[in-house]
Amino acid sequence: MRLTQGAFSFLPDLTDEQIKKQVEYAISKGYAIGIEYTDDPHPRNSYWDMWGLPLFDVKDPAAAMYELASCRKAKPNVYVKISGFDNTIGTESCAMAFIAQRPANEPGFRLERQETQGRFIRYTLSPYATEKPEGERY
Amino acid sequence: MSQSVEERTRIKSERYESGVIPYAKMGYWDADYVVKDTDVLALFRITPQPGVDPVEAAAAVAGESSTATWTVVWTDLLTACDIYRAKAYRVDPVPGSSDQYFAYIAYELDLFEEGSLANLTASIIGNVFGFKAVKALRLEDMRMPVAFLKTFQGPATGVVVERERLNCFGRPLLGATVKPKLGLSGRNYGRVLYEGLKGGLDFLKDDENINSQPFMRWRERFLYAMEGVNRAQASSGEVKGHYLNVTASTMEDMYERAEYSKEVGSIISMIDLVIGYTAIQTISKWARKNDQIMHLHRAGNSTYARQKNHGINFRVICKWMRMAGVDHIHSGTVVGKLEGDPLMVKGFYNTLLDVKTEINLPQGLFFAQDWASLRKCLPVASGGIHCGQMHQLVNYLGDDVVLQFGGGTIGHPDGIQAGATANRVALESMLMARNEGRNYIEEGPQILRDAAKTCGPLQTALDLWKDISFNYTSTDTADFVETTTANV
């Protein structure tokens, strides 16, 4: 199953050249590039681990690409995303995000249905990968 | 002293002599008035009856929408009436028209109850729209003072927090309205929803008139909808939603449906504009209290928003709805099947999304507006749009919008999932090209054809809808004269 979070997940995986162009765009908009990784792809996992701090004072796309490469090297088989943070008034939040690396195998999610009162069902979503402890998942 | 007591105590001031005097003379016209930061401002398009002086017509509108009645009343003198009188302070002929005038009117803040849209509108669009002295009247724009805005909640969730909850950044959201809008059973309805969400949409949507009819009572819909939403979340790893329409005949029924929407785990509920301003404000407060996003379908607005000479311009509705506290509002597509001049629509979007709005006459924005940190309301583009127009949609509507393809998803020959995927791929490929700095407006059709090489459903959709466009002249367009100097 392909995890389709992020802005470009319905397209073929981005090449480094394509990623660099998106990074250039983000920097041109004044966004701070963040690189984050995780082995828990639950859609409500808001806190992927940060590969260092967001690059608030980096204006050179090459520096961001270098950090992406370092992150991939250290974390070769997990999800990595690139985000652009916009700290201007009225936003002060993430303004773009897309996946820049995926594990080789994406097993997807289990949907648990708990039958409760009457016809009411309580749903729980859990990534198959997180049945194993952190660090051993992919 | 031969006079009677009535004669002796009769008010002698010319202004308060009993009888009928022109509104302008009653104090509702003041060409030298200096607008205060705390004033509520309104711009009306007035068509006076033949023979009525435009200044007198403007004063009459100011009078009837504030303190006046048709005749002089001595009880005015029991109040600080000079302050409470609204003042028309500027009247300009409408460019290109022989009988219409733009009238600017200032209202003292204390004329209005804090945080009440119903109270505001009862004055501004109350009796005055039926006033005989004007042939037609249209409320074009308003400026709300910061002091007044601070008494309104504003969008329950807002664009930024909605995106954080959805975990979706840097692209428009994608949606679709379930079709056929009436007649499906709950179980079949949920099927449409599941297919669309699984295919790549973020939201499906109830239509404005789906409430609780004999063919599908509301609980059936809510339960099956959540099965569809949860199944699609599991198949994509994305947060998804379905706008559950909680519109009902009484507020009690609406609360019951909204509570159930929350209980079944929906992140978003929906209401129609026809429920009225008080119900909208009420449900928006409920939404903030209950972590729900509140979608507003503008059902009914074109009955008064479309014609240029009479009614309320939709930008005013946008302003009021942002104050009332909804998170989504349908505000035009430019290229779709419903009314919408590109610049006018841009003005609506700016009204919903800006932190501060500047005067922009081509967009129909007559006043600068500081939004006083009220959250942003997400515009929804819905009605006759399809993936072949993606470059135009991205160009006109930007990133902060829900693009809703109803027929453009469900009408796909290979099924709903294929339709949804075509839309998502078209959107993502267009944004990627734009961000890369390509001239995506010119190259749009080629960018879509290239993306279709690895996406069969997109190719099918492009072939099917390639000739569909809705090129009709808009009825609601801006009236202004270009001036060569700024700040005059």
Tell whether the model's pLDDT for residue B22 goes beyond 60: yes
**Continuous H helices in B3-78:** 5-9, 23, 54-64
Q: How confident is the model at residue B486 (pLDDT cuts 50, 70, 90)?
A: very low
Containing B236, the helix (H) or strand (E) segment is helix B218-236
Tens of pLDDT, residue by residue over B91-122, are 999 999 999 999 999 999 999 999 999 999 99
To the nearest whole Å, the CA of B297 is away from the closest chain A CA by 25
Q: Is the peptide bond before A54 cis (omega within 30 degrees of 0)?
A: no
Residues in chain B with CB shorter than 8 Å from the CB of A18 are: 432, 436
Per-residue confidence (pLDDT) for residue B485, from 0 to 100: 42
| Degrees, nearest 5: CA angle A126-A129-A131 | 70
Tens of pLDDT, residue by residue over B255-314, are 999 999 999 999 999 999 999 999 999 999 999 999 999 999 999 999 999 899 999 999
Residues in chain B with CB shorter than 8 Å from the CB of A1 are: 235-237
Residues in chain B with CB shorter than 8 Å from the CB of A95 are: 169-170
Per-residue confidence (pLDDT) for residue B341, from 0 to 100: 85
| Cross-chain residue pair A7–B169, CB shorter than 8 Å | yes
The partner residue sitting opposite B170, judged by closest CB among A11, A41, A96, is A96
Please identify among residues 349-368 of chain B the ones whose CB lies closer than 8 Å to any CB of chain A: 355
Inform me whether the C-beta atom of residue A130 falls under 8 Å from chain B C-beta atoms: no
- Over chain B, what HEC string results? CCCCHHHHHCCCCHHHCCCCCCHHHHHHECCCCCCCCCCEEEEEEEEECCCCCHHHHHHHHHHHCCCCCCCCCHHHHHCCHHHHCCEEEEEEECCCCCCCEEEEEEECHHHCCCCCHHHHHHHHCCHHHHCCCEEEEEEEEEECCHHHHCCCCCCCCHHHHHHHHHCCCCCCEEEEECCCCCCCCHHHHHHHHHHHHHCCCCEEECCCCCCCECCECHHHHHHHHHHHHHHHHHHHCCCCEEEEECCCCCHHHHHHHHHHHHHCCCCEEEEEHHHCHHHHHHHHHHHHHCCCEEEEECCCCHHHHCCCCCEECHHHHHHHHHHHCCCEEECCCCCCCCCCCHHHHHHHHHHHHCCEECCEHHHCECCCEECCCCCCCEEEEECCCCHHHHHHHHHHHCCCCEEECCHHHHCCCCCHHHHHHHHHHHHHHHHHHHHCCCCHHHHHHHHHHHHHCCCHHHHHHHHHHCCCCCCCCCCCCCCCCCCCCCCC
Residues in chain A with CB shorter than 8 Å from the CB of B164 are: 46, 93-94
**Considering the entire predicted model, what is its pTM?**
0.95
Q: Which residue of B has its CA nearest to A47?
A: B167
Q: How confident is the model at residue B366 (pLDDT cuts 50, 70, 90)?
A: very high
Nearest to B382 by CA among B364, B417, B406: B406
Per-residue confidence (pLDDT) for residue B11, from 0 to 100: 87
| Cross-chain residue pair B437–A12, CB shorter than 8 Å | no
Per-residue confidence (pLDDT) for residue B454, from 0 to 100: 96
| Cross-chain residue pair B235–A1, CB shorter than 8 Å | yes
**In angstroms, rounded to a whole number, what is the distance separating the alpha carbons of residues A39 and A61?**
26
Q: Which residues of B are catalytic?
A: 179, 297
Inform me whether the C-beta atom of residue B261 falls under 8 Å from chain A C-beta atoms: no
Per-residue confidence (pLDDT) for residue B140, from 0 to 100: 97
Can you tell me whether residue B265 is helix, strand or coil?
A: coil
Tally of CA atoms within 13 A in the half-sphere of B434 that contains its CB = 22
ipTM of the prediction? 0.97
Tens of pLDDT, residue by residue over B376-431, are 999 999 888 899 999 999 999 999 999 999 888 999 999 999 999 999 999 999 99
More reliable by pLDDT, B1 or B313: B313
The partner residue sitting opposite A21, judged by closest CB among B160, B424, B435, is B435
Stretch B172-193: mean pLDDT: 96
To the nearest whole Å, the CA of A135 is away from the closest chain B CA by 20
Can you tell me whether residue B468 is helix, strand or coil?
A: coil
Stretch B147-167: mean pLDDT: 98
Place of tokens 């652009």: A84
Stretch B61-82: mean pLDDT: 89
Tens of pLDDT, residue by residue over A35-79, are 999 999 999 999 999 999 999 999 999 999 999 999 999 999 999
Per-residue confidence (pLDDT) for residue A38, from 0 to 100: 98
| Cross-chain residue pair B169–A11, CB shorter than 8 Å | no
**In angstroms, rounded to a whole number, what is the distance separating the alpha carbons of residues B321 and B334?**
20
Q: Which residues pair with A85 in a beta bridge?
A: A32, A94
Per-residue confidence (pLDDT) for residue B160, from 0 to 100: 98
Per-residue confidence (pLDDT) for residue B329, from 0 to 100: 97
The partner residue sitting opposite A123, judged by closest CB among B163, B200, B230, is B230
Establish, for the pair of chains A and B, how many residue pairs have beta carbons separated by less than 8 Å.
109
Q: Which residue of B has its CA nearest to A83?
A: B169
Per-residue confidence (pLDDT) for residue B261, from 0 to 100: 98
Residues in chain A with CB shorter than 8 Å from the CB of B437 are: 21, 25
| Cross-chain residue pair A25–B265, CB shorter than 8 Å | no
Question: What rounded mean pLDDT belongs to chain B?
Answer: 94
